[in-house]
Structure 1
Amino acid sequence: MNPRFYTIGMSGHIDHGKTTLTKALTNIDTDRLKEEIERKISIELGYASFLLGEYETTIVDVPGHEKFIRQMIAGVAGIDLVILVIAADEGVMPQTKEHLEILSFLGLEHGIIAVTKIDRVDQDFIELIRDDIRSAVNRTIFENADVVLVDSISGNGLEELKSAIARNLRNIQQREAKGAFRLPIDQVFTIQGQGTIVRGTIYEGTIKKGDPLLLLPHQITVKARQLQVHNREKDMAIAGQRVAINLGGAVKEAVKRGDVLVSSDHYSLSKAIEVSLQTVKDLKYPVKQRAPVKFYCGTSEVMGKIVLLDRKELNGDEEVLCQIRLEDPVVARRGDRIVLRRPSPVETIGGGWIIDPFSKKLRFGEETIRKLERKRRGSQDDRLLDALNERYLLSKNELLQTASFDPETLEETLSRLLQNLQVITVESDVFTSSKAYEKVRQEIHRILQKYHESYPLRSGMNKAECAQALKGVPVLLIEAVVEREVGCGGLKREKQFISLASFEPHFPRQWEQQFERAVQRMEADGLKVKPFDEYFSGEKVPEYLLQEARRHLLQTERAYTLDDKQLIHHRTHDKQLDALYRFTNGQPFTVQEAKAILDTTRKNLVLYLELLDQLRFTKRVGEQRVWLKNE
């Protein structure tokens, strides 16, 4: 029979017998620190291997004292089954209730209630304790849980507890072993001659001895030199197992609880997170907008601020969609459970799960809430499309991060959406949604239409300028849309300039006659042209339009530049060029010889000859010019 791997949490109020019960089940004392032994309380998380038939489990002994709630949250973050320990001689206590709330917020669905120290009370008192417990666990995961009476010293009830554990584990699905490896670290220590050791419960994926790993958020590349599961060396460990990893490439000072080991770049860091949050029933003080909070996810604890999106404050027993903005980055995926606590005065605010670990700045109001609600309830198709609609363009790897898919599910979802044309391939393994594509296409058309109205004399808009106007849209997507629009005839492109297919440069209608008259007069003046602006004297043409007209004539080669003020008409250029070539018979010529042929001032003649040099019709050699082109 193949083994099944689970983690069991031992939770409850201080001094209710969690550590003693763990030892009774496993023969391992999880209080290992000197202070824990002296004070007889658990301060840090304790771990003990527990083999129960086909089930290879680890019991996590969670501190019960209110000062160690942080450790408690870190300890229960990766568990599959929780045993809530309640002492028969004390019953339900304050920390029992807080643990109950936190366990609910972390989404745990399977629990057992162990009533300990039963040898200290008589049967009638036990019945009162049962009633007290049932009242306390109403509407929690323990509402229908097995209640097992046990005494850890004498061993009474231990077999019944083991049977209850096996019965519950039988109904719990194992963690997902496929996909990328992720291990939130809850312990870091060193062993002489071995180096840095980290421990944690594998959330997802598989790890093999020798695998390269990435330590986040530090972005340090490390290597899994050795693996141990239940104090036995292994070549491989899978999701659900508690593993110790000997890291190569990291010193102990560089690693801490809350860091995460991953096997690939499928995981990224988050600082703004959208969450579905349920507040505690009895919140002592309202939580104001942007109030500081302690954010717990996995084994990490990070300070942040809560951003409310449809109200000014939070009160008890509310369910809200909100954003958490963190001071430091965390590794998180959609569906990860979180807990929020107030730093001062200290209390648990609530908990819930992550809708989107890669949030952006959100507007206050119902429209944002509707979007978050769609994200919260969305199918796999909805999640992928929402990610593409919001971010326009994502690679496969980015989709794995933002939409929290495993590779196999992503391939299935992409294939389905590509087939029904809701997703478009931009380039290899880079995608956009048809909705995002159409939005960008329409926006490009709108920008170009506005540009043509403002600059009717320009042949088109510089593509780079158009891209700059599309704020937030990846250049790669803009390039793809332009390319396809040019291909299907929606746009025209000339060098770096793009325009609507139906557009042709033209003079503004109200100034069309004035411009044509000016161009005709310029042509009539031949090489004896006046400054360009003088042809519009008395016409009251706006200065910016004169500059646009000049640019248009030059770009369309209806005119050529003599100097910074004068232009000559293209037909003037053609006539003078033809006359000069014919009279020189294609032979080298001097300025004096050209002056005898062309009717203009010496200044303009020199300017014209320099223009011919620039156009590569002639080349100056000493006092002569030689022809470079045959006419």
Structure 2
Amino acid sequence: MRVIATAGHVDHGKSTLIRRLTGMEPDRWAEERRRGLTLDLGFAWTRLAGEQLAFVDVPGHRRFVPNMLAGIGPVPAVLFVVAADEGWMPQSAEHLAALDAFGVRHGLLVVTKADRADPAAATTAASREIAQTSLGQVPAVAVGGTTGAGLDQLRTRLAGLAAGLPPPDPGADVRLWIDRAFTIKGAGTVVTGTLGAGTLRVGDELTLGETHVRVRGLQSLGEAHESVSAVARVAVNLRGVARDAAERGDALLTPGAWRTTAELDVRLRGTPAAELHRHLVAHLGSAAVPARVRPLGLDTARLLLATPLPLRVGDRGLLRDPGEHRIPAGFDVLDVRPPPLARRGAARARGTELAAPEPGWDLLRREGFVRHDDFHALGLPEAGERLGGWHADPAHLARLREEAPRVVVGWTREHPNAAGMPVDVLRQRLGLPAAELVQAILADGLAASGGLVRSPGAALSADVERALAVLEKRFAGHPFQAPEADELRELGLGTRELAAAVRLGRLSAVADGVVLCPDAPRRAGEALAALGKPFTVSEARRALDSTRRVMIPLLEHLDALGVTERQADGTRRVVGAANPAYDD
């Protein structure tokens, strides 16, 4: 399917042309048919040369320009209509300015009412105006208002226009700009729009604002479908969505694939930034949002939207001045996650940056690290060094690798008896956005394990070393007699000091407050294996010359290591004494 919008001055015959091409009435409201004036968007379709063509018919009166913009915003091609007897008119110029601002590049000029006046003058004037816009040189066809002359040639030209449109990407992320929302009894909320890319399927989960919704049903050109691929006019029946939860300008989105923003940097086309009013309306897709404009450079500006919209770099929109009925500027989106402009001179500096942007790299250099998925969601090419789910600016990464050892050494100096610097503390001090990035910045012998980072040659304080010397002398004669809490306290070995000694391999902890020599688990396994039979706790205690306070947690520790195994009768047997995996 191909989708084409109409454009042109009021009463130049847009709706009449669509009726003749399709045999359908595009004016949906009784008031429109009574007044002979299109007020809102109309829809009709036909088949030409084996291709389905859907038309979005827009109003031409200046009072309904917002409706017109909602219709042409998401559409890739236009049928531009000019009447032979009136020629180029004010709304012709406004509609053309809108098409140019949206960057529409495919179109066809139709000069209507050719039976009332010679179409040559209107064709020449309109072609000259159109050629100066994004549409460029377009084919022209003249048709009669009552005779129908020229319709066959128009159909041929339309078929050629449809065939020349760029192929859509059916695998792209969905962003369906909503142009109608209504309810159907028994079905619930239905929204319609022009699907420019991607594929919708019954059962799909999408997002509507902050709400997750499910596609209950799909229709395209009046027929039900299990799936619809772009480009297409589509009606989507949403499950569990209240009527007032959806309206024109909202968008149905692939979850997690889009950046919703109220702040964006743009390049302007048309009026210089300094000459724009500060308060205008921004039109993107079918959305119309009040926007505050802050100039950054000659042709760049920061837009502050009253309502966040799902946007990507490369999107195109326009700014409109409702009070003056004019479109002063189109714009291209350059950044949807721009930096703050809080400091003096920041706006001017930002304008300089945007004069020669490097997509992807600008964001990466500014933030240091960017999530891999964010490049896609923001519409940017990937840049930098890939680190798992992140990308890093190589220069920033090098600086952090130089800084990390100094930070760890400084922290260790402040906490001499700590087992190591907590990974999250190092992350915070280096400004890393995620703990998973800590490993990537470790250099110069730094190592991370057990949630702690240690520098090479990490040592204990002199007081702790003296206390450990006492314990080592004790363990030399009685390796399974753990010191009591009072003795540890007298030696100055608190929880922190013990943890540091265990981490450095100077002690082995079998339970809270129960510490033995470093190789106690291995030696215990060997001694118990020498019994040559299953044993009770008491037998193990006697074999190891220990106490029940030590033996119960030690045996449970050996069970966990796979050295011993508990039997049904309450005894244990050694099953892994020869396995070095239990070495602590």
Aligned residue in 2 for 1:309: 296
The alpha carbon displacement at 1:230 in A equals 1.2
Where structure 2 has 5 or more consecutive residues not aligned to the other structure, the ranges are 495-512, 516-546, 551-584
Partner residue of 1:211 out of 189, 193, 203:
203
Whole-angstrom CA distance in 2 between matches of 1:577 and 1:501? 23
Pick the aligned partner of 1:400 from 376, 399, 421: 376
Secondary structure of the residue that 2:80 maps to in structure 1?
Answer: strand
TM-score normalised according to structure 1 size? 0.68
Asked whether the equivalents of residues 12 and 64 of structure 1 are also in contact (C-alpha less than 8 Å), the reply is yes
Q: Which residue of 1 aligns with 2:170?
A: 177
Asked if structure 1 preserves the Cα contact closer than 8 Å seen for 2:115 and 2:145, the reply is no
Q: Counterparts in 2 of 1:116-135, with a 5 A limit?
A: 116-121=112-117, 123=118, 126-135=119-128
Describe how 1:448-467 pairs up with structure 2 within 5 A: 451=410, 463-467=423-427
The structure 1 residue matched to 2:392, chosen from 429, 432, 438, is 432
For 2:276, the equivalent position in structure 1 comes to: 287
Corresponding residue to 2:285 among 291, 294, 298: 298
Question: 1:56 and 2:52 equivalent?
Answer: yes
Q: What is the aligned residue count?
A: 492
Trace 1:91-490 onto structure 2 (pairs within 5 A).
91-121=87-117, 123=118, 126-208=119-201, 210-223=202-215, 225-280=216-271, 286-287=275-276, 291-310=278-297, 320-362=299-341, 364=346, 367-375=349-357, 378=358, 383=360, 385-403=361-379, 422-426=384-388, 429-444=389-404, 451=410, 463-471=423-431, 473-476=432-435, 478-482=437-441, 484-485=442-443, 489-490=444-445
- 2:394 & 2:190 partners in 1: Cα distance? 48
- SS at structure 2 position matched to 1:400: helix
Equivalent residues in 2 for 1:536-575 (5 A)?
A: 556-559=460-463
Q: Secondary structure at the match of 1:99?
A: helix
What amino acid does structure 2 have at the position aligned with 1:354? Answer: V
Q: Which residue of 2 aligns with 1:538?
A: none
Equivalent position of 2:558 in the other structure: none
Match of 2:77? 81
What is the SS of the residue equivalent to 2:75? coil
Match of 1:541 in 2: none
Q: 3-state SS of the aligned residue for 1:120?
A: coil
The Cα of 1:404 is off from its aligned counterpart by: 5.2
SS at match of 2:346: coil
Superposition pairs of residues 476-515 of structure 1, within 5 angstroms: 476=435, 478-482=437-441, 484-485=442-443, 489-491=444-446
Closer, same or farther: CA 194–365 of 1 in aligned 2, 3 Å: closer
- Aligned sequence identity (%): 26
CA contact (8 A) 1:356 1:403 kept: no
- C-alpha displacement of 1:272: 1.7
The corresponding residue for 2:572 is none
Q: Residues of 2 paired with 1:48 and 1:272: CA distance?
A: 36
SS in 1 for 2:404: helix
User: TM-score, length-normalised on structure 2?
Assistant: 0.73
Give the direction of change, closer, same or farther, for the CA distance of 1:325–1:440 in structure 2 (3 Å limit). farther
CA offsets per residue over residues 20-48 of structure 1, 9 Å max, x none?
11111111121121221232211110010
Whole-Å separation in 1 of the counterparts to 2:417 and 2:242: 63
Is residue 178–residue 286 contact of structure 2 (8 Å, CA) maintained in 1? yes
Aligned equivalents of 1:24, 1:55: Cα separation in 2: 17
- Distance in 1, matches of 2:514 and 2:425, equals 34
In the other structure, the counterpart of 2:574 is none
Provide the rounded CA distance (Å) in 1 between the counterparts of 2:354 and 2:428.
29
Post-superposition Cα deviations, 1:242-293, rounded to whole Å, max 9, x if no partner, equal 1112222212221111111124322232222222221259x9x9325xx222
Tell me the C-alpha RMSD between the 2 structures: 3.9
2:297/2:352 contact within 8 Å kept: no
SS at match of 2:121: helix
Letter in 1 for 2:276: V
Contact 1:338 1:353 (C-alpha < 8 Å) held by counterparts = yes
How big is the shift at 1:439?
Answer: 4.0
Residues in 1 aligned to 2:42 and 2:147: alpha-carbon distance in whole angstroms: 22
Q: Tell me the CA shift for residue 216 of structure 1.
A: 2.4
Match of 1:515 in 2: none
Give the distance between the partners of 1:557 and 1:442, measured in 2 at CA.
26
1:77 positional shift? 1.6
Query: What residue in structure 2 maps to residue 611 of structure 1?
Result: 490
Q: Secondary structure at the match of 1:37?
A: helix
Q: Which amino acid aligns with 1:357?
A: V
The 1-side partners of 2:129 and 2:440 are apart by 60
For 1:106 and 1:438, locate their aligned partners in 2 and report how far apart those are by CA, in whole Å.
42
